[in-house]
Amino acid sequence: MSDGMLTLRCACGWEAHGTEAELIVAATEHGRRVHNMTATREDVLAMIVRPDDAAAHHARLDRPDGDVA
């Protein structure tokens, strides 16, 4: 996975990487076809894991008190 690539994970184990536009298309199709879901663009955007999110997550794990403030 290259730098800046976004990730979206479904609870079923399905995972996709790509740009925001690619993930919206892929996730909308996965949700419709596999889970009978009608996902909006906003639904998908809310679940995308961005590189900054991942860095913050790791920072929280690295600190004993779990506080990144």
Give the residue from 53, 56, 9 showing the smallest Cα distance to 18. 9
Q: Which is nearer to another protein, 51 or 53 (CB)?
A: 53
What's the CA gap between 64 and 21, in Å, rounded?
37
CB of 34 to another protein, least distance (A): 5
For residue 47, the SS3 value is helix
Q: Which is nearer to another protein, 13 or 64 (CB)?
A: 13
Which of 13, 61, 65, 67 touches another protein (CB under 8 A)? Answer: 13
56 is an interface residue for another protein by CB under 8 A? no
